[in-house]
């Protein structure tokens, strides 16, 4: 004998929902306003909600991230299409709007079990409605992030509110496009650039340089690593707290200038941590350039042994949020200012400022 889910007691409904995948819960929430209210009682509290913008659609991922592990739940998958056969169209209430759609069941190996097709001309209404629906389901403080695999929807992304972090995974990105994006979404905590930057050079008044945390991932051009970024302009004009360069061919003279200007208190007043790592197989000599500084060994007294990184500033999968700096060398700002520690090798340079 089959039982009708809506006729079950509320306690039983909640227990059933707890056994489902989050994307199944999402699909149920679309059935009716009453069902959406039932889903709200689940009190879902993901730490992050990521909108992934693709060539012709958007996916929503709910992330549960704590100090021990991270779990990504693909929650919804929306695709904008040119046409839908009339016999496959159905009305749906999404975020307070009734919109025609088609539901496609995906192959078992797909990250989302179902994809929702909407007419492309209605993409703005759909995205606005999708965001409202997400806010209804996740009614607590959830960190909103955007990820771009395509720039087709970069202007439409202005619909998404309270964006704290962005990840660009693209072949290339023009600096003017990036500055315009940061005008649309001001006040971000972190930015990840897995792309080759092109266009005008960065200046000290660039919005990019004022972001709290920036991570730059080198890109591959053929068999050679391409840093894909105006490295000197960014490191010389950076006014934030955390700066990462991963698989990037950096200029050690820029590093020397950073240490010199920090030491003299000329710049980098907010700086907490800088990390640069060269691509595999690339060695960058540093000995001659760094001889100008009077580094001293750690004495166990002037500062702690370990440096704690803020994992929320840059949403990278760091090996650890804690760095052992017992083997690092120390340097102090002029006039008895702050201390910093540096680790130098032909592969990497790390620089941590102690409060």
CA angle in degrees (0–180, nearest 5) for 123-125-127: 65
Task: Calculate the average pLDDT of the chain.
Answer: 88
Among 325, 324, 258, smallest CA distance to 286 is for 258
Quote the pLDDT of residue 103.
93
Q: In the chain, pLDDT over 90 holds for what percent of residues?
A: 55
**Per-residue DSSP letters for 33-97?**
HHHHHHHHTT----SEEEEEE-SSEEEEEEEEE-SS-EEEEEEEEEEEES---GGG-EEEEETTE
Quote the pLDDT of residue 7.
79
Q: In the chain, pLDDT over 70 holds for what percent of residues?
A: 93
Quote the pLDDT of residue 304.
95
Residues 54-90: pLDDT tens digits?
999 999 999 887 756 778 889 999 999 999 999 999 9
Q: Are 315 and 48 in contact (CB under 8 A)?
A: yes
Q: pLDDT-derived band of residue 266, with 50, 70 and 90 as boundaries? A: very high
Whether the predicted pLDDT of 309 surpasses 90: no
Phi, psi of 294, deg, nearest 5: -95, 75
Show me where the domains of the chain are located: 162-355
Quote the pLDDT of residue 310.
80
Whether the predicted pLDDT of 6 surpasses 80: no
Residues 13-50: pLDDT tens digits?
888 888 888 888 899 889 888 888 888 888 888 889 99
Local structure of 145: helix, strand or coil: strand
Q: Are 165 and 145 in contact (CB under 8 A)?
A: yes
Whether the predicted pLDDT of 315 surpasses 60: no
Average pLDDT over residues 319-337: 89
- Contacts for 271 with CB less than 8 Å, ≥ 6 apart: 238, 240, 241, 243, 262, 351, 353
Average pLDDT over residues 109-131: 92
**CA 3 remoteness from chain centre:** 43
Which residues in 298-324 are b (16+ Cβ under 10 Å) and which e? beeeebeeebebeebbbbbeeeeeebe
Whether the predicted pLDDT of 172 surpasses 50: yes
Whether the predicted pLDDT of 294 surpasses 90: yes
User: Of the ranges 102-106, 134-138, 341-345, which is most confident?
Assistant: 341-345
End-to-end Cα, the chain, rounded Å:
67
Quote the pLDDT of residue 319.
57
Whether the predicted pLDDT of 224 surpasses 50: no
Q: Are 261 and 292 in contact (CB under 8 A)?
A: no
- State the Cα–Cα distance between residues 144 and 162, nearest whole angstrom: 7
């Amino acid at each position: 004998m089959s039982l009708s889910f809506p006729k079950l007691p509320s306690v039983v409904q909640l227990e059933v929902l707890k056994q489902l995948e989050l994307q199944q819960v999402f699909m149920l929430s679309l059935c009716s306003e009453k069902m959406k209210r039932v889903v709200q009682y689940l009190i879902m509290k993901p730490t992050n909600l990521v909108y992934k913008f693709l060539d012709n659609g958007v996916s929503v991922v709910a992330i549960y991230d704590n100090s021990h592990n991270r779990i990504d739940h693909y929650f919804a998958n929306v695709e904008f299409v040119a046409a839908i056969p009339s016999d496959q169209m159905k009305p749906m209430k999404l975020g307070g709007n009734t919109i025609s759609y088609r539901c496609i069941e995906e192959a078992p190996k797909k990250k989302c079990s179902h994809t929702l097709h909407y007419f492309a001309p209605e993409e703005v209404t759909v995205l606005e409605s999708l965001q409202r629906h997400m806010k209804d389901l996740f009614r607590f403080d959830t960190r909103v992030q955007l990820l771009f695999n395509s720039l087709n929807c970069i202007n439409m992304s202005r619909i998404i509110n309270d964006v704290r972090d962005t990840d660009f995974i693209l072949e290339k990105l023009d600096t003017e496009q990036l500055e315009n994006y940061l005008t649309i979404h001001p006040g971000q905590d972190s930015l990840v650039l897995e792309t080759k930057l092109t266009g005008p050079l960065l200046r000290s008044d660039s919005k990019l340089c004022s972001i709290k945390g920036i991570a730059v991932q080198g890109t591959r051009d053929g068999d050679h690593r391409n840093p894909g970024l105006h490295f000197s302009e960014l490191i010389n004009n950076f006014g934030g707290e955390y700066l990462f360069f991963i698989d990037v061919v950096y200029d050690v003279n820029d590093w020397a200038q950073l240490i010199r200007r920090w030491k003299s208190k000329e710049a980098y007043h907010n700086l907490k941590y800088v990390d640069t790592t060269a691509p595999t197989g690339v060695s960058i000599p540093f000995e001659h350039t760094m001889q100008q500084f009077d580094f001293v060994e750690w004495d166990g007294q002037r500062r702690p042994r370990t440096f704690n990184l803020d994992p929320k500033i840059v949403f990278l999968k760091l090996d650890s949020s804690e760095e052992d700096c017992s083997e690092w060398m120390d340097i102090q700002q002029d006039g008895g200012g702050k201390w910093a520690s540096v680790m130098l090798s032909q592969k990497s340079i790390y620089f941590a400022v102690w409060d």
